[in-house]
Homo-oligomer: A and B are copies of this chain.
Amino acid sequence: MISRRLLHIKTVPKLYATNIDSLNFSQSKSSPSVIPTIPTHELLTKLNLISHPHSGLINWLPIGLTIINKINAIIRSRMNEVNFEELQLSLLSHKSLWEQTNRLNNNQEIFQLKDEPFLLSPTAEEEITNYVKQNIKSYKNLPILYYQINNKYRNEKRPRSGLLRTKEFLMKDGYSFDINEKEAMNTYQNVFGAYINIFNDLKLPYVKAEADSGDIGGSLSHEWHYLHQSGEDLLFECDHCHSISNIEKTLSFPNEEKDVKDVSVRYFITKDGSTLVCAYYPSDRVLQPNFIKVEIDDIDVSSKLTQKEILSQFETNEQNEDSLMNKKIIRIMDSRLTSRSNFPDFPLSFINRSAITTFTDIPIVEAQADEICGKCEEGKLSSSKAIEIGHTFYLGDKYSKSLDCTIETPDLPDRQNLIMGCYGIGISRIVASIAEINRDSNGLIWPAIIAPWNVTIISVNGSTDPYNGLFEKLNDENVDYKVDNRAKIGLGKKINQSNLLGIPLIIILGKNYPIVEIEIRGKRYDPDGELAWKKLYESHKDEYQWKVEYDEGQNDVKHYVHKDGIISVINALLKDM
């Protein structure tokens, strides 16, 4: 096979020719000045990273696909480190499994095939559990740890043009099967560590939001987010205990006694029908029924009964006088309410007053910034919009139970349900988020590890022949570069287009050779406070005949280096990008 190094030079002109020449704004009629004002998803389309054949569908074009492949490589490396194995399940799943787990019912978001019993998998819990059930031979094979990277489908009724809310999206989904809860927790922690590594590799700051695990208990579910004003999620962070959680899960107390005047009430019934729960909360706030569950775990938050129907079950009349004797009422008052608030009238003429219990000072509405953290009850909450890019979830036996995925163990008489976890990363969402978060008035900016390529090389006079020695060195050291040797395109335009695409570095080869010019485009991430190139500069400044040009904010924008130092300097510059 041809060596990769030859490919570098050979194929580049072609790659550019179809991917940059055909950009809309490379035509004279539209200028780069539109860049700052267009939405990011349009920028990605204009730059030929993606196209939308129809609303909610995505074609990944060559440059976009390169970014995807680089993200996938990070994910694979990190998942393999924690002993997960990659597989590729069929994208079609048989409806019968989804009927067993009760996930198909009225689910309008699942694409089904016409006249066939298949659906397009939105996730693969059913299929993977069924596969493991059919193939596991012994508890000794546990844990079983699989992941896949492929398209998922969801019939999103309001697709947003872009990559955040689409009918088809690229996702890494992992699944774990353990013999018991303890081992499953251990697996969860391993994946947790892998996720930290993955998102650290991607350089951008991220947050882990804790989430209740509902019926399972413990705090073994996390959402992974990039904070950004364009996000659809709202997170709260406590300035004391530093816990971060999604608005759906953030308990909060009022930070000062405010006079809440108008009070609303919503009625719930427990699953056994024995108890009426009257939830009182400020009329100007949003009730979060799941918070009531923290106090009354039997409450039916998804009941389809109307308020009237719920109340009627507790209304005294001739038929139910006896049965009412066994019924109870719980009044639950949001923490923000005081005795001065205007409570609505109690709607029932309930006889047994002793059956009424009242809970006060319970946080049951969605948090707001500046309120007190419901977790530590000390710190103040701040809010941020966020884009969810991953989740890790301890599933317990939810799927293994309904699909009968069990195993014999040496210690216990009965077959045991396998204990599962599932772990998602939204790969197309990561591309969209990073594009959105990092873009500036000159276009996109990719972290080096996922940039379409790391270095654009431009020869001022158009010919690369005088620099063959340099290219040999770049090839030997596997520098990820492309040469822009398109004819009849000026230097300025080539630089602009490389910057627009978010390539971290540009090397310009000109009459000062062997001194080479390096222009900086990549964003700096230096958590330790010291850029790697500065250290190298101290020790090799003279040897490399290295000069640096700074902008007004004292940021380095251009480096001039002797070709013999080029590899070390490039690597040092890329290290923090």
Q: List chain A positions with a Cβ less than 8 A from chain B.
A: 1-2, 7, 10-11, 14-15, 17-19, 21-22, 27, 48, 51, 53-54, 57-62, 65, 68, 74, 77-78, 80-81, 83, 85-94, 111-116, 118, 120, 127, 130-131, 134-138, 140-141, 144-146, 151, 153, 155, 167-168, 197, 201
Q: Which of B10, B60, B86 contacts A62 (CB 8 A)?
A: B86
10 closest A-B pairs by CB: A60-B88, A57-B90, A62-B85, A112-B114, A14-B83, A114-B114, A22-B137, A59-B89, A61-B87, A54-B94
Interface of A is mostly: mixed
| Residues in B whose Cβ lies below 8 Å from that of A145 | 14
Q: How far is it, in angstroms, between the C-alpha of A111 and the C-alpha of B137 when the chains are bound?
A: 35
- Starting from the known contacts A54-B118, A92-B167, 18 additional A-B residue pairs (CB-CB under 8 Å) come to A1-B77, A2-B77, A7-B81, A18-B141, A18-B144, A19-B85, A51-B134, A53-B89, A53-B93, A53-B127, A53-B131, A57-B90, A91-B168, A92-B153, A111-B113, A113-B113, A113-B120, A114-B115
Bound Cα distance A80, B113 (Å): 35
Q: Which of B11, B53, B112 contacts A94 (CB 8 A)?
A: B53
A91 touches B91 (CB 8 A): yes
Nearest neighbor of A117 in chain B, beta-carbon distance: B54
* Bound Cα distance A22, B144 (Å): 11
Find the B residue at minimum CB distance from A1: B77
Q: Assuming the A-B contacts A57-B92, A116-B155, are A7 and B87 also in contact, with contact meaning beta carbons closer than 8 angstroms in the complex?
A: no
Q: Give complex CA distance A64, B118 in Å.
A: 24
Q: Which of B21, B81, B197 contacts A141 (CB 8 A)?
A: B21
Which residues of B sit under 8 angstroms from A15, Cβ to Cβ? Answer: 85
Chain B residue contacts of A201, Cβ below 8 A: 1
Contact of A130 among B53, B87, B90, B167 (CB under 8 A): B53
> What separation, in Å, do the CA atoms of A1 and B70 have in the docked complex?
13
CB-based contact B65/A87 at 8 Å: yes
Q: Evaluate whether A151 and B53 lie within 8 angstroms (CB atoms) in the complex, with A1-B201, A83-B11 already known.
A: no
Give min CB distance, A44 to chain B, whole Å.
14
What distance in Å separates the Cβ of A57 from its nearest Cβ neighbour in chain B? 4
CB distance from A460 to the nearest CB of B (A): 23
Q: Bound state CA distance, A106 and B145, in angstroms?
A: 43
A61: chain B residues within 8 A (beta carbon): 87
A112 to B59, CA, bound (A): 19
Check B168–A92 contact: CB distance below 8 A: yes
- Say yes or no: A135 contacts B17, CB within 8 Å: no
- Provide the bound-state CA to CA distance between A140 and B488, in Å: 12
The chain B residue with its CB closest to the CB of A126 is B53
Given contacts A88-B60, A92-B57, contact A1 B168 (CB under 8 A): no
Q: Shortest beta-carbon distance, A464 to chain B, in Å?
A: 18
- Taking a contact as CB atoms under 8 Å apart, the answer to whether A131 and B59 are in contact is yes
Q: How far is the CA of A351 from the CA of B468 in the complex (A)?
A: 82
Cβ contact of A140, chosen from B21, B59, B81, B120, cutoff 8 A: B21
